[in-house]
Structure 1
Protein backbone atom coordinates (compact mmCIF):
# COMPACT_ATOMS: atom_id res chain seq x y z
CA UNK A 1 0.00 0.00 0.00
CA UNK A 2 1.36 3.42 -1.00
CA UNK A 3 1.50 5.94 1.84
CA UNK A 4 0.13 9.36 0.94
CA UNK A 5 1.31 12.40 2.86
CA UNK A 6 -1.81 14.32 3.95
CA UNK A 7 -0.03 17.69 3.83
CA UNK A 8 0.98 17.10 0.21
CA UNK A 9 -2.65 16.45 -0.69
CA UNK A 10 -3.84 19.52 1.23
CA UNK A 11 -1.22 21.68 -0.48
CA UNK A 12 -2.37 20.40 -3.88
CA UNK A 13 -5.82 21.91 -3.27
CA UNK A 14 -4.96 24.91 -1.06
CA UNK A 15 -5.04 27.46 -3.89
CA UNK A 16 -8.68 26.67 -4.70
CA UNK A 17 -11.42 28.76 -3.12
CA UNK A 18 -13.31 27.18 -1.55
CA UNK A 19 -10.85 24.45 -0.64
CA UNK A 20 -12.43 21.16 -1.82
CA UNK A 21 -12.24 19.38 1.54
CA UNK A 22 -14.20 16.34 0.39
CA UNK A 23 -11.78 15.80 -2.51
CA UNK A 24 -8.92 15.91 -0.03
CA UNK A 25 -10.60 13.24 2.10
CA UNK A 26 -11.27 11.08 -0.95
CA UNK A 27 -7.66 11.35 -2.11
CA UNK A 28 -6.54 10.20 1.34
CA UNK A 29 -9.00 7.29 1.40
CA UNK A 30 -10.92 8.78 4.34
CA UNK A 31 -14.39 9.03 2.80
CA UNK A 32 -16.28 11.08 3.69
CA UNK A 33 -19.44 9.25 4.62
CA UNK A 34 -22.56 11.29 5.29
CA UNK A 35 -25.05 9.83 7.77
CA UNK A 36 -28.12 11.11 9.58
CA UNK A 37 -26.82 11.44 13.15
CA UNK A 38 -28.25 12.93 16.34
CA UNK A 39 -28.26 16.70 16.01
CA UNK A 40 -25.73 16.99 18.85
CA UNK A 41 -23.13 14.95 16.95
CA UNK A 42 -21.17 16.65 14.17
CA UNK A 43 -19.20 13.61 13.12
CA UNK A 44 -16.26 11.38 13.88
CA UNK A 45 -13.24 9.58 12.57
CA UNK A 46 -13.24 5.83 13.07
CA UNK A 47 -10.74 3.05 12.58
CA UNK A 48 -12.01 0.26 10.36
CA UNK A 49 -11.21 -3.45 10.66
CA UNK A 50 -8.55 -3.20 7.96
CA UNK A 51 -6.69 -0.55 10.00
CA UNK A 52 -7.90 2.19 7.70
CA UNK A 53 -9.82 5.25 8.82
CA UNK A 54 -13.08 6.82 7.70
CA UNK A 55 -14.56 10.21 8.45
CA UNK A 56 -18.30 10.26 9.11
CA UNK A 57 -20.19 13.57 8.94
CA UNK A 58 -23.70 14.44 10.07
CA UNK A 59 -25.71 14.74 6.84
CA UNK A 60 -28.32 16.87 8.62
CA UNK A 61 -25.99 19.75 9.47
CA UNK A 62 -25.48 22.90 7.39
CA UNK A 63 -22.91 22.62 4.60
CA UNK A 64 -20.57 25.04 6.36
CA UNK A 65 -20.72 22.86 9.47
CA UNK A 66 -20.13 19.68 7.46
CA UNK A 67 -17.06 21.20 5.81
CA UNK A 68 -15.59 22.31 9.14
CA UNK A 69 -16.29 18.90 10.68
CA UNK A 70 -14.54 17.22 7.75
CA UNK A 71 -11.46 19.42 8.19
CA UNK A 72 -11.54 19.02 11.99
CA UNK A 73 -11.60 15.22 11.76
CA UNK A 74 -8.85 15.32 9.13
CA UNK A 75 -6.75 17.29 11.62
CA UNK A 76 -7.25 14.52 14.19
CA UNK A 77 -6.10 12.01 11.55
CA UNK A 78 -2.97 14.01 10.77
CA UNK A 79 -1.87 15.04 14.26
CA UNK A 80 -3.57 12.72 16.76
CA UNK A 81 -3.64 9.35 15.01
CA UNK A 82 -1.64 7.76 17.83
CA UNK A 83 -4.41 8.79 20.27
CA UNK A 84 -7.42 7.77 18.19
CA UNK A 85 -7.77 4.12 19.21
CA UNK A 86 -10.98 2.96 17.52
CA UNK A 87 -11.87 6.55 16.73
CA UNK A 88 -12.98 9.86 18.14
CA UNK A 89 -16.33 11.55 17.83
CA UNK A 90 -17.14 15.21 18.17
CA UNK A 91 -20.29 16.87 19.38
CA UNK A 92 -21.47 20.27 18.15
CA UNK A 93 -18.92 21.98 20.39
CA UNK A 94 -16.18 19.76 18.92
CA UNK A 95 -15.71 17.89 22.16
CA UNK A 96 -14.95 14.18 22.17
CA UNK A 97 -17.81 13.32 24.53
CA UNK A 98 -21.32 11.89 24.23
CA UNK A 99 -20.64 10.30 20.85
CA UNK A 100 -20.26 6.68 19.78
CA UNK A 101 -16.50 7.27 19.86
CA UNK A 102 -16.02 9.15 23.11
CA UNK A 103 -12.27 9.06 23.67
CA UNK A 104 -10.61 10.19 26.89
CA UNK A 105 -7.21 10.29 25.14
CA UNK A 106 -8.37 13.31 23.12
CA UNK A 107 -8.14 16.28 25.46
CA UNK A 108 -9.46 19.84 25.07
CA UNK A 109 -6.01 20.89 23.82
CA UNK A 110 -6.29 18.34 21.00
CA UNK A 111 -9.73 19.66 20.08
CA UNK A 112 -8.40 23.22 19.96
CA UNK A 113 -5.54 22.04 17.76
CA UNK A 114 -7.98 20.29 15.44
CA UNK A 115 -10.09 23.47 15.23
CA UNK A 116 -7.03 25.57 14.42
CA UNK A 117 -5.81 23.16 11.75
CA UNK A 118 -9.32 22.96 10.27
CA UNK A 119 -9.35 26.75 9.96
CA UNK A 120 -5.92 26.67 8.30
CA UNK A 121 -7.11 24.05 5.81
CA UNK A 122 -10.41 25.71 4.90
CA UNK A 123 -9.28 29.34 5.09
CA UNK A 124 -5.61 29.46 4.09
CA UNK A 125 -4.18 32.82 5.17
CA UNK A 126 -2.67 33.49 1.74
CA UNK A 127 -6.04 32.97 0.05
CA UNK A 128 -7.83 35.16 2.60
CA UNK A 129 -5.21 37.92 2.16
CA UNK A 130 -5.51 37.67 -1.63
CA UNK A 131 -9.26 38.26 -1.49
CA UNK A 132 -8.87 41.07 1.01
CA UNK A 133 -6.29 42.72 -1.26
CA UNK A 134 -8.81 42.52 -4.12
CA UNK A 135 -11.26 44.53 -2.01
CA UNK A 136 -13.33 41.75 -0.43
CA UNK A 137 -13.11 42.52 3.27
CA UNK A 138 -16.60 41.85 4.66
CA UNK A 139 -16.44 38.73 6.89
CA UNK A 140 -19.83 37.55 5.64
CA UNK A 141 -18.73 37.74 2.01
CA UNK A 142 -15.39 36.09 2.75
CA UNK A 143 -17.21 33.31 4.62
CA UNK A 144 -19.43 32.74 1.60
CA UNK A 145 -16.39 32.52 -0.70
CA UNK A 146 -14.70 29.94 1.52
CA UNK A 147 -17.97 28.14 2.34
CA UNK A 148 -17.44 28.45 6.08
CA UNK A 149 -19.65 30.01 8.72
CA UNK A 150 -19.41 33.74 9.29
CA UNK A 151 -18.41 32.99 12.88
CA UNK A 152 -15.50 30.82 11.70
CA UNK A 153 -14.34 33.56 9.35
CA UNK A 154 -14.63 36.22 12.05
CA UNK A 155 -12.47 34.08 14.35
CA UNK A 156 -9.98 33.59 11.52
CA UNK A 157 -9.82 37.35 10.90
CA UNK A 158 -9.73 38.25 14.59
CA UNK A 159 -12.89 40.31 14.14
CA UNK A 160 -15.27 40.53 17.12
CA UNK A 161 -18.58 38.76 16.88
CA UNK A 162 -21.64 40.78 16.04
CA UNK A 163 -24.05 41.12 18.97
CA UNK A 164 -27.38 39.37 18.43
CA UNK A 165 -30.10 41.79 17.45
Structure 2
Protein backbone atom coordinates (compact mmCIF):
# COMPACT_ATOMS: atom_id res chain seq x y z
CA UNK A 1 0.00 0.00 0.00
CA UNK A 2 2.90 2.36 0.71
CA UNK A 3 4.09 1.97 -2.88
CA UNK A 4 0.63 2.96 -4.16
CA UNK A 5 0.69 6.08 -1.97
CA UNK A 6 4.25 6.93 -3.03
CA UNK A 7 3.40 6.47 -6.69
CA UNK A 8 0.31 8.67 -6.36
CA UNK A 9 2.29 11.41 -4.61
CA UNK A 10 5.02 11.32 -7.24
CA UNK A 11 2.46 11.81 -10.01
CA UNK A 12 0.69 14.77 -8.39
CA UNK A 13 3.45 16.53 -6.45
CA UNK A 14 7.05 17.53 -6.82
CA UNK A 15 9.36 17.70 -9.82
CA UNK A 16 7.46 15.11 -11.87
CA UNK A 17 4.28 17.15 -11.64
CA UNK A 18 6.05 20.44 -12.28
CA UNK A 19 7.82 19.12 -15.38
CA UNK A 20 4.46 18.32 -17.01
CA UNK A 21 2.39 21.11 -15.50
CA UNK A 22 1.20 22.56 -18.82
CA UNK A 23 0.18 19.09 -19.99
CA UNK A 24 -1.80 18.52 -16.80
CA UNK A 25 -3.81 21.71 -17.34
CA UNK A 26 -4.78 20.54 -20.83
CA UNK A 27 -5.86 17.09 -19.72
CA UNK A 28 -9.59 16.39 -19.97
CA UNK A 29 -11.57 13.51 -18.47
CA UNK A 30 -12.34 10.71 -20.91
CA UNK A 31 -15.93 10.72 -19.63
CA UNK A 32 -17.93 13.22 -21.74
CA UNK A 33 -20.40 13.82 -18.90
CA UNK A 34 -20.69 17.59 -18.38
CA UNK A 35 -20.41 17.18 -14.59
CA UNK A 36 -17.08 15.35 -15.00
CA UNK A 37 -15.83 18.00 -17.43
CA UNK A 38 -16.85 20.75 -15.00
CA UNK A 39 -15.12 19.06 -12.07
CA UNK A 40 -11.88 18.89 -14.06
CA UNK A 41 -12.21 22.53 -15.12
CA UNK A 42 -12.93 23.54 -11.51
CA UNK A 43 -9.84 21.65 -10.34
CA UNK A 44 -7.74 23.52 -12.91
CA UNK A 45 -9.22 26.86 -11.83
CA UNK A 46 -8.58 26.03 -8.18
CA UNK A 47 -4.95 25.09 -8.84
CA UNK A 48 -4.36 28.24 -10.91
CA UNK A 49 -5.81 30.41 -8.14
CA UNK A 50 -3.97 28.44 -5.46
CA UNK A 51 -0.71 29.00 -7.33
CA UNK A 52 -1.38 32.72 -7.12
CA UNK A 53 -2.19 32.44 -3.38
CA UNK A 54 -5.76 33.53 -3.95
CA UNK A 55 -7.74 33.52 -0.72
CA UNK A 56 -10.96 32.99 -2.66
CA UNK A 57 -10.07 29.76 -4.41
CA UNK A 58 -12.59 27.04 -3.57
CA UNK A 59 -11.33 23.51 -3.88
CA UNK A 60 -13.94 21.49 -5.81
CA UNK A 61 -13.21 18.55 -3.50
CA UNK A 62 -14.00 20.49 -0.32
CA UNK A 63 -16.55 18.61 1.73
CA UNK A 64 -15.30 15.12 0.90
CA UNK A 65 -13.94 13.00 3.72
CA UNK A 66 -10.36 11.74 3.90
CA UNK A 67 -11.14 8.32 2.43
CA UNK A 68 -12.92 9.89 -0.54
CA UNK A 69 -10.07 12.35 -1.05
CA UNK A 70 -7.47 9.57 -0.86
CA UNK A 71 -9.46 7.50 -3.34
CA UNK A 72 -9.39 10.34 -5.87
CA UNK A 73 -5.77 11.31 -5.23
CA UNK A 74 -4.48 7.76 -5.62
CA UNK A 75 -6.69 6.79 -8.58
CA UNK A 76 -4.30 6.36 -11.49
CA UNK A 77 -6.89 4.57 -13.66
CA UNK A 78 -7.46 7.65 -15.80
CA UNK A 79 -10.90 8.37 -14.35
CA UNK A 80 -9.55 11.61 -12.87
CA UNK A 81 -7.16 14.09 -14.39
CA UNK A 82 -3.84 14.68 -12.70
CA UNK A 83 -5.06 18.11 -11.59
CA UNK A 84 -8.21 16.63 -10.07
CA UNK A 85 -6.05 14.17 -8.16
CA UNK A 86 -3.77 17.01 -7.07
CA UNK A 87 -6.70 19.14 -5.90
CA UNK A 88 -8.07 16.20 -3.89
CA UNK A 89 -4.65 15.64 -2.34
CA UNK A 90 -4.35 19.33 -1.45
CA UNK A 91 -7.74 19.26 0.26
CA UNK A 92 -6.66 16.29 2.38
CA UNK A 93 -3.34 18.03 3.08
CA UNK A 94 -5.11 21.21 4.20
CA UNK A 95 -7.35 19.16 6.50
CA UNK A 96 -4.31 17.48 8.01
CA UNK A 97 -2.51 20.79 8.54
CA UNK A 98 -5.55 22.31 10.25
CA UNK A 99 -5.75 19.30 12.57
CA UNK A 100 -2.01 19.51 13.32
CA UNK A 101 -2.19 23.21 14.22
CA UNK A 102 -5.12 22.55 16.53
CA UNK A 103 -3.56 19.52 18.23
CA UNK A 104 -0.22 21.29 18.72
CA UNK A 105 -1.92 24.23 20.43
CA UNK A 106 -3.95 21.87 22.60
CA UNK A 107 -0.86 19.85 23.45
CA UNK A 108 1.00 22.95 24.54
CA UNK A 109 -1.94 24.04 26.69
CA UNK A 110 -2.12 20.57 28.24
CA UNK A 111 1.59 20.62 29.05
CA UNK A 112 1.33 24.06 30.63
CA UNK A 113 -1.78 23.16 32.64
CA UNK A 114 -0.81 19.69 33.80
CA UNK A 115 2.86 19.02 33.13
CA UNK A 116 1.83 16.03 31.05
CA UNK A 117 1.30 15.39 27.35
CA UNK A 118 -0.68 12.19 27.79
CA UNK A 119 -3.84 13.44 26.04
CA UNK A 120 -1.71 14.99 23.31
CA UNK A 121 -0.17 11.63 22.44
CA UNK A 122 -3.51 9.87 22.80
CA UNK A 123 -5.07 12.35 20.38
CA UNK A 124 -2.28 11.75 17.86
CA UNK A 125 -2.68 7.99 18.20
CA UNK A 126 -6.47 8.22 17.75
CA UNK A 127 -5.97 10.43 14.72
CA UNK A 128 -3.46 8.04 13.18
CA UNK A 129 -5.74 5.05 13.78
CA UNK A 130 -8.64 6.90 12.12
CA UNK A 131 -6.65 7.74 8.99
CA UNK A 132 -7.51 5.80 5.85
CA UNK A 133 -5.15 2.84 5.35
CA UNK A 134 -3.47 4.52 2.41
CA UNK A 135 -2.38 7.44 4.58
CA UNK A 136 -1.37 5.15 7.44
CA UNK A 137 0.94 3.35 5.03
CA UNK A 138 3.03 6.52 4.70
CA UNK A 139 4.03 6.33 8.37
CA UNK A 140 6.72 4.01 9.76
CA UNK A 141 5.45 0.56 10.73
CA UNK A 142 6.34 1.25 14.37
CA UNK A 143 4.47 4.58 14.57
CA UNK A 144 1.59 3.32 16.71
CA UNK A 145 3.93 1.53 19.12
CA UNK A 146 6.08 4.64 19.53
CA UNK A 147 3.03 6.74 20.37
CA UNK A 148 1.87 4.14 22.89
CA UNK A 149 5.32 4.22 24.50
CA UNK A 150 5.08 8.03 24.79
CA UNK A 151 1.65 7.70 26.41
CA UNK A 152 2.97 5.22 28.95
CA UNK A 153 5.93 7.47 29.84
CA UNK A 154 3.78 10.54 30.46
CA UNK A 155 2.53 11.11 33.98
CA UNK A 156 -1.14 10.47 34.59
CA UNK A 157 -3.16 13.61 35.12
CA UNK A 158 -4.55 13.67 38.64
CA UNK A 159 -8.33 13.30 38.53
CA UNK A 160 -7.99 13.72 34.77
CA UNK A 161 -8.41 17.45 35.45
CA UNK A 162 -7.45 18.61 31.97
CA UNK A 163 -10.50 18.50 29.71
CA UNK A 164 -8.98 18.50 26.24
CA UNK A 165 -12.32 18.80 24.46
CA UNK A 166 -13.59 21.62 26.64
CA UNK A 167 -10.49 23.70 25.93
CA UNK A 168 -10.40 22.79 22.23
CA UNK A 169 -13.92 22.05 20.98
CA UNK A 170 -12.73 21.41 17.39
CA UNK A 171 -11.27 18.12 18.59
CA UNK A 172 -14.51 17.15 20.33
CA UNK A 173 -16.76 17.89 17.38
CA UNK A 174 -14.60 16.13 14.85
CA UNK A 175 -13.48 12.68 15.91
CA UNK A 176 -12.44 11.92 12.34
CA UNK A 177 -9.21 13.38 11.01
CA UNK A 178 -9.46 16.88 9.64
Bigger fraction of residues in strand: 1
TM-score normalised by the shorter chain: which range applies? under 0.3
Bigger fraction of residues in helix: 2
**Bigger relative CO (Cα 8 Å, ≥ 6 apart):** 2
The structure number with the bigger radius of gyration is 2
TM-score by length of 2: 0.26
